């Protein structure tokens, strides 16, 4: 929303509806007490979405709530409002009389202010807001190239992401004629400035008031409007903007065109009404509008008797995603017959603009509506609507098959309509629609079912004050909900502060011949431009013993590699100047993007047990295959952010960073500047999500930012835009897995040989450690006595891939691809065993998880239900899969399993705890508070954690590998026990005293009220030469059963139900742990079924934001999601018998993948396709649909051999 457009408006933010200092709003209180936040970065948005809904509809339905939140992206899933607190605590009531009112002074200002044109001038553009249509048309005549802006949903993106500059922008926001709505007997005329939400309301009213036969087009538009973007976008995006922008994926334009709609265009010369048909859209973003014309209104006619209109769309995510292909289709029958009189078929997403299938329509007009007619239409459509192999957007075969599938779906809809509306139907309908075909017109299930969370019981006899094991609210939940939580970029701007912007490589492999910074240095506000030559200390960082350049020196090896940096007084100035830096290149040969092209070479490892060769010779059956697992963007809500402040003496630097590893940042800055680490302090208040992505690259960015502060002697801030972040920081490693499995006829696996090839990117980063962990987890929960694994980290000319939640384990589900589920069950670890690296463990808890999940999910009964469903339905199929997990917790590098803490008790009895872990949403601060509360025997309210700082706790280890609470909790426990013991003489002297009196007395008696704590973790190791070790402190176990329903015509699916049983030992905080389990599962669901990183053939990342890269949203959560914490599990290797919880269940997202594969197999059987098949990950709708092998996908001819639009990774 442009600020200029808000002149005279009242803006309510999350801070305005409630505060911890004054009074909470009921929405804020509920989301906090229902454990509805983790990192908290997106919580204010959740709060305001629900607040807005309640202001508009005080008694919303569950469907309205779901729709409001349905487009919110999820990485850390929040609990679904099922909480113990709701029945035990009094919650604030929702009282509409206490809500904010519109400021009376703004009403008076609007009444008294003279209505006149408003003009706002900036450095590069002028905003003009006229008040009359005549004035608007005059401005458009004077400035024909100036865009007319309403919702700014298109133009704003062009300005922000494409660098488009318009010297003059004209706003039609105050022109009343653009918002007029007129209802006529022949249809409804809607002003072009009407928001899509307004259009939706108008159409709903018309549908309710008109006879059903007149509402076909209106209802079809309503169907599409419910899927266009999200509620916030629909509230500002306009009908006229949608038409005039002529976007090829527009959901409305195909329906408007098919529905005989028209637009009224106006200029100073007059009005003209133009049909919205094939001649209106003339190219990408182009229409017949003249430069001085505007869209005044859109006319939507009522449908005629015998006319049927439908709208369809398919998108990569269920909601808030641009359509891959959409369609508007209309047919009009001769009265009393099924002979087609008129027909229109329009598609979006298969050309540069909305496409009309005219030749296909001609095959139908004048003929009866039956399968023979439509069969001819399908053949004509294949020839008419084509896409080249290099078509923008890719997915060529899929998109073409969708045009056929949607036409088939329309055919069945019309048959059903004729049967239901025409009497007698026998005169019109040629036979009944087979019942199994009806699934093509039925929607996927979308009704949310009650979900269940099962906590563990607190031991009987535990003190009420002891919070361990209880569902304690997140330490910062109220701050999250009120917007008071401070993140790195929330720190106020300091005097003289500068902003840094990096310049990145535009080539994948090239020699830098010259960097021209002259133009950038001459631009307003620019203070400095520097390169690697200006670094006074080390010019590289070392990760896993291998160097990585901070800024490129002489050569670039991927698109997105940082080359130099620009420092300016503001962010816009820095961004403009960085774009003005000209880097001259000389391309180098042999660019490598995939592991296949790279010869699958690189650093790697191998591990083996048993005689694999002999076991294969003795096997009854051998199955070989491969699976490709795509990468995954971290997509933390808070992008890479840091602020570096030079302190002015002794070369001291203070760094505020959003990092998982403060010590790494501290050391990186010190080494880059050539100063001791003691002169640098790194501070982390909280992180808005990380998932492993704020380790290595954060230290490099902090080094660059610190250098800017060092050179300028002024504070410097660096906050990456989303696109920059995705381009620079890397992702989860794409992996190619090749496997060979030998098994006996009774299902016993006798041998397995697996090779993994990970796409490391252009530098090693953590790749070697990732492929090692892949090998250590390749057995998962299965006891395979003859097992061999090899792995390689392959260097390519793509951005370096890095640590990601799960750290290699999610890339290991190869075994499930090659074996039937019944076969796998026979091979679970059954008794105390050695892993393939000779670490002993007892699988008793693993088997309990398996059996309990099998029972809780009613697997046996539901398998029969799935088989019955698949038999009865041709175009919808179901699948169900049960997946076990054995996950090792800890760093195999033993020195990383340590932590320190510092605990202060102040004279008033309050306690300040500092430890080495960083709070990024996993609840470590909350759990550490619970530990301190138990050990000191004081209420949680007396314990405070302010930040993580290298000044308070030095030499911290990364908050990763799910051991943050394990090690830091133990360190805090150690410090608290020291303090509690030091107070023992005081307690004995005054046994009836209070905590405060004991502390006061201790101070008077000069007893230290400060203590350090330290925890020396387990001596973990892995000897790769001997192929044995103890790389993990312990294992955590889980099992997950998921059921999906698949639309075979589009590949779209719904997760109907998920049951997850997790062993987390004795939970310190079950509410936080369940949130972590759910969030990790959803991230895994995204990895295995949704998220795709797309690179151009020259190595440029296409997917640089939420528009192109889709992560799971609320609408993707299983309709029923049950989580059970296994009871009776103990763990002597971690604090209070708990277990790490943050990472393991990412892997269990593959239960959805394998359920989808089962559903695809059922579809293939119906299509006459038998035998094994390959389904790569992610199992996107494209892959699932093509794998189904329907007659529509089989009708699409092979595309010509040409360079594809995107690379196929790994």
Give me the active site residues, please: 1143
Whether 153 has a binding-site annotation, put simply, is: yes
Whether 911 has a binding-site annotation, put simply, is: no
By C-alpha distance, which of 373, 279, 300, 285 is closest to 333? 373
- Tokens representing 288 are 């017949």
CA 196, distance to chain mean position in Å, is 25
Return the residue matching tokens 């704020």. 694
Whether 917 has a binding-site annotation, put simply, is: no
Whether 948 has a binding-site annotation, put simply, is: no
- Tokens representing 667 are 């050391």
Segments in 392-431 forming alpha helices (H): 396-421
Contacts of residue 1095, defined as CB under 8 A and 6 or more positions apart, other chains included, come to 593, 798, 1101, 1102, 1206, 1207, 1209
Cis ω for the linkage preceding 1046 (within 30 of 0): no
By C-alpha distance, which of 840, 857, 860, 841 is closest to 849? 857
* Cβ proximity of 940 and 946 under 8 Å: no
Contacts of residue 407, defined as CB under 8 A and 6 or more positions apart, other chains included, come to 327, 329, 345, 360, 374, 377, 378, 381
- Tokens representing 661 are 């590893």
> What number of CA atoms fall less than 13 Å from residue 853's CA on the CB side?
31
Q: How far apart are CA 1156 and CA 865, in angstroms?
A: 16
Q: At what angle do helices 43-56 and 26-33 cross, to 10 degrees?
A: 130
* Cβ proximity of 368 and 341 under 8 Å: no
> What number of CA atoms fall less than 13 Å from residue 717's CA on the CB side?
21
Whether 152 has a binding-site annotation, put simply, is: yes
Q: How far apart are CA 709 and CA 680, in angstroms?
A: 13
Burial classification of residue 871, based on how many CB atoms lie within 10 Å of its CB (0-12 exposed, 13-18 middle, 19 or more buried): exposed
- Tokens representing 523 are 């631009």
Q: How far apart are CA 664 and CA 960, in angstroms?
A: 13
Q: What angle do CA 627, 628, 633 make, to 5 degrees?
A: 140
Burial classification of residue 315, based on how many CB atoms lie within 10 Å of its CB (0-12 exposed, 13-18 middle, 19 or more buried): buried
Whether 313 has a binding-site annotation, put simply, is: yes
β-bridge mates for residue 238, sequence order: 195
Whether 338 has a binding-site annotation, put simply, is: no
Whether 755 has a binding-site annotation, put simply, is: no
* Cβ proximity of 1076 and 1142 under 8 Å: yes
> What number of CA atoms fall less than 13 Å from residue 1047's CA on the CB side?
24
Whether 908 has a binding-site annotation, put simply, is: no
- Tokens representing 1061 are 């049983």
Category of 1189 on φ-ψ map: left (φ > 0), alpha (ψ -120 to 50) or beta = left
Return the residue matching tokens 């691809």. 817
Whether 828 has a binding-site annotation, put simply, is: no
Instruction: Say how many C-beta atoms besides its own lie within 10 A of residue 912's C-beta.
Output: 16
Whether 1055 has a binding-site annotation, put simply, is: no
Whether 151 has a binding-site annotation, put simply, is: yes
Q: How far apart are CA 99 and CA 12, in angstroms?
A: 11
Q: How far apart are CA 555 and CA 568, in angstroms?
A: 26
Instruction: Say how many C-beta atoms besides its own lie within 10 A of residue 935's C-beta.
Output: 21
Segments in 70-162 forming alpha helices (H): 85-88, 104-112, 133-142, 155-162
Whether 873 has a binding-site annotation, put simply, is: no
Whether 370 has a binding-site annotation, put simply, is: no
By C-alpha distance, which of 628, 488, 455 is closest to 1093? 628
Element housing 270 (H / E): strand 270-275
Helix (H, G, I), strand (E, B) or coil at 961: coil
Contacts of residue 649, defined as CB under 8 A and 6 or more positions apart, other chains included, come to none
Measure the N-to-C terminal CA separation of the chain; round to a whole number of Å: 39
- Tokens representing 1136 are 């209070």
Whether 155 has a binding-site annotation, put simply, is: yes
Q: What angle do CA 151, 155, 160 make, to 5 degrees?
A: 115
- Cα→Cα distances 261→200, 1185, 1209, Å: 16, 33, 44
Output the known binding site for [2Fe-2S] cluster.
39, 42
Binding-site residues, please? 39, 42, 148-155, 251, 313, 660, 691, 805, 807, 961
Residue ranges of the annotated binding site for FAD are 148-155, 251, 313
Q: Which parts are annotated binding residues for substrate?
A: 807
């Amino acid at each position: 929303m442009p600020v200029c457009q808000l002149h005279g408006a009242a803006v309510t933010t999350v801070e305005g509806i409630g505060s911890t200092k004054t009074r909470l709003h009921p929405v804020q209180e509920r989301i906090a007490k229902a454990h509805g936040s983790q990192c908290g970065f997106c919580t204010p948005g959740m709060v305001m979405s629900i607040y807005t809904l309640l202001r508009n509809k005080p008694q919303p339905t569950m469907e309205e709530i779901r729709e409001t939140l349905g487009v919110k992206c999820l990485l850390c899933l929040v609990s679904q409002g099922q909480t113990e607190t709701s029945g035990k605590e009094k919650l604030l009531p929702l009282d509409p009389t206490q809500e904010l009112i519109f400021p009376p002074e703004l009403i008076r200002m609007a009444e008294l202010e003279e209505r006149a044109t408003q003009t706002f001038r900036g450095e590069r553009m002028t905003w003009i807001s006229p008040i009359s249509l005549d004035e608007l048309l005059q401005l458009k005549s004077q400035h024909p190239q100036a865009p007319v802006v309403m919702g700014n949903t298109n133009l704003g993106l062009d300005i922000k992401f494409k660098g488009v500059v318009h010297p003059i922008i004209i706003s039609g926001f105050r022109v009343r004629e653009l918002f007029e709505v007129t209802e006529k007997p022949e249809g409804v005329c809607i002003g072009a400035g009407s928001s899509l939400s307004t259009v939706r309301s108008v159409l709903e009213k018309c549908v309710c008031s008109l006879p059903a036969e007149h509402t076909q087009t209106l209802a079809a538009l309503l169907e599409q409007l419910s899927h266009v973007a999200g509620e916030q976008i629909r509230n500002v995006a306009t009908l006229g903007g949608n038409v005039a922008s002529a976007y090829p994926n527009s959901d409305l334009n195909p329906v408007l065109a098919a529905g005989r709609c028209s637009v009224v265009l106006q200029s100073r010369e007059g009005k003209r009404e133009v049909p919205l048909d094939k001649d209106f859209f003339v190219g990408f973003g182009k229409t017949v509008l003249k430069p001085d014309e505007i869209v005044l209104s859109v006319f939507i006619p009522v449908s005629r008797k015998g006319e049927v209109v439908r709208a369809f769309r398919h998108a990569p995510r269920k909601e808030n995603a641009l359509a891959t292909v959409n369609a508007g289709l209309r047919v009009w029958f001769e009265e009393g017959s099924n002979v087609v009189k008129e027909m229109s078929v329009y598609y979006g997403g298969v050309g540069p603009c909305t496409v009309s299938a005219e030749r296909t329509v001609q095959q139908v007009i004048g003929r009866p509506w039956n399968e023979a007619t439509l069969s001819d239409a399908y053949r004509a459509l294949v020839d008419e609507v084509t896409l080249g192999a290099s078509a923008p957007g890719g997915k060529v075969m899929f998109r073409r098959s969708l045009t056929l599938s949607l036409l088939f779906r329309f055919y069945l809809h019309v048959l059903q309509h004729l049967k239901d509306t025409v009497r007698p139907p026998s005169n019109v309908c040629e036979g009944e629609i087979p019942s199994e075909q009806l699934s093509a017109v039925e929607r996927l299930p979308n009704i949310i079912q009650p979900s269940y969370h099962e906590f563990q019981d607190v031991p009987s006899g535990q003190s009420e004050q002891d919070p361990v094991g209880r569902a304690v609210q997140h330490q910062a939940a109220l701050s999250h909900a009120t917007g008071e939580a401070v993140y790195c970029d929330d720190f106020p701007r300091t005097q003289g502060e500068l902003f840094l912007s990096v310049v990145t490589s535009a080539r994948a492999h090239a020699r830098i011949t010259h960097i021209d910074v002259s133009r950038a240095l001459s631009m307003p506000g620019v203070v400095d431009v520097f390169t690697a030559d200006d670094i006074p200390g080390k010019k590289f960082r070392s990760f896993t013993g291998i160097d990585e350049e901070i800024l490129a020196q002489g050569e670039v090896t991927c698109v997105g590699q940082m080359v130099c940096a620009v420092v300016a007084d503001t962010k816009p100035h820095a961004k403009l100047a960085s774009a003005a830096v000209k880097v001259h290149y000389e391309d180098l040969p042999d660019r490598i993007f995939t592991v296949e092209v790279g010869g699958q070479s690189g650093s790697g490892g191998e591990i083996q047990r048993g005689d694999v060769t002999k076991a294969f010779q003795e096997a009854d059956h051998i199955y070989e295959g491969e699976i490709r697992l795509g990468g995954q963007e971290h997509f933390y809500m808070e992008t890479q952010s840091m602020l570096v402040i030079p302190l002015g003496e002794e070369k001291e630097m203070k760094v505020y960073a959003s990092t998982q590893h403060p010590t790494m940042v501290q050391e990186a800055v010190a080494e880059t500047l050539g100063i001791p680490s003691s002169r640098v302090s790194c501070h982390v208040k909280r992180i808005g999500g990380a998932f492993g992505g704020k380790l290595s690259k954060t230290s490099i960015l902090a080094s660059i930012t610190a250098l800017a502060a060092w050179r300028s002697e002024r504070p410097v801030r660096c906050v990456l835009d989303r696109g920059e972040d995705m381009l620079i920081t890397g992702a989860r490693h794409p992996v190619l897995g090749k496997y060979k499995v030998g098994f006996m006829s009774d299902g016993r696996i006798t041998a397995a040989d697996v090779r993994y090839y990970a796409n490391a990117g252009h530098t090693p980063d953590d790749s070697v450690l990732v492929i090692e962990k892949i090998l250590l987890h390749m057995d998962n929960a299965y006891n395979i006595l003859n097992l061999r694994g090899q792995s390689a980290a392959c260097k390519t000319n793509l951005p370096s891939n890095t640590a990601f939640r799960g750290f290699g384990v999610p890339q290991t589900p190869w075994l499930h691809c090659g074996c039937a589920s019944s076969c796998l069950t026979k091979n679970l670890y059954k008794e105390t065993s050695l892993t393939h690296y000779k670490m002993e463990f007892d699988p008793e808890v693993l088997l309990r998880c398996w059996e309990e999940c099998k029972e809780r999910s009613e697997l046996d009964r539901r398998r029969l239900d799935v088989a019955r469903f698949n038999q009865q339905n041709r175009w919808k199929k179901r699948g169900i899969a049960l997946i076990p997990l054995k996950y090792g917790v800890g760093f195999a590098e033993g020195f990383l399993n340590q932590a320190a803490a510092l605990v202060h008790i102040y004279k008033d009895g309050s306690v300040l705890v500092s430890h080495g872990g960083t709070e990024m949403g996993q609840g470590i601060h909350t759990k550490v508070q619970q530990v301190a509360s138990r050990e000191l025997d004081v209420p949680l309210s007396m314990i405070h954690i302010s930040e993580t700082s290298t000044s308070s706790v030095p030499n911290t280890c990364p908050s990763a590998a799910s051991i943050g609470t394990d090690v830091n909790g133990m360190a805090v426990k150690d410090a608290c026990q020291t303090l509690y013991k030091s107070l023992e003489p005081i307690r004995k002297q005054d046994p009836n005293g209070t905590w405060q009196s004991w502390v006061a007395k201790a101070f008077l008696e000069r007893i230290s009220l400060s203590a350090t704590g330290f925890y020396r973790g387990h001596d973990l190791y892995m000897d790769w030469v001997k192929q044995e070790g103890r790389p993990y402190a312990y294992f955590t176990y889980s099992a997950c059963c998921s059921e999906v329903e698949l639309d075979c015509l589009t590949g779209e699916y719904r997760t109907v139900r998920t049951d997850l049983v997790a062993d987390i030992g004795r939970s310190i905080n079950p509410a936080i742990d369940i949130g972590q389990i759910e969030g990790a599962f959803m991230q895994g669901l995204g990895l295995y079924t949704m998220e795709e990183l797309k690179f151009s053939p020259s190595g440029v990342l296409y997917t640089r934001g939420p528009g192109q890269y889709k992560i799971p949203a609320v609408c993707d959560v299983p309709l029923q999601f049950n989580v059970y914490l296994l009871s009776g599990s103990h763990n002597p290797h971690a604090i209070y018998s708990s277990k790490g919880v943050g990472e393991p269940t990412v892997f269990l997202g593959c239960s959805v993948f394998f359920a989808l594969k089962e559903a695809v197999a059922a579809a293939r059987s119906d299509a006459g396709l038998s035998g094994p098949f390959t389904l790569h990950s992610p199992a996107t709708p494209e892959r699932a649909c093509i794998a189904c092998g329907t007659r529509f996908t089989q009708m699409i001819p092979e595309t010509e051999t040409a360079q594809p639009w995107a690379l196929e990774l790994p």
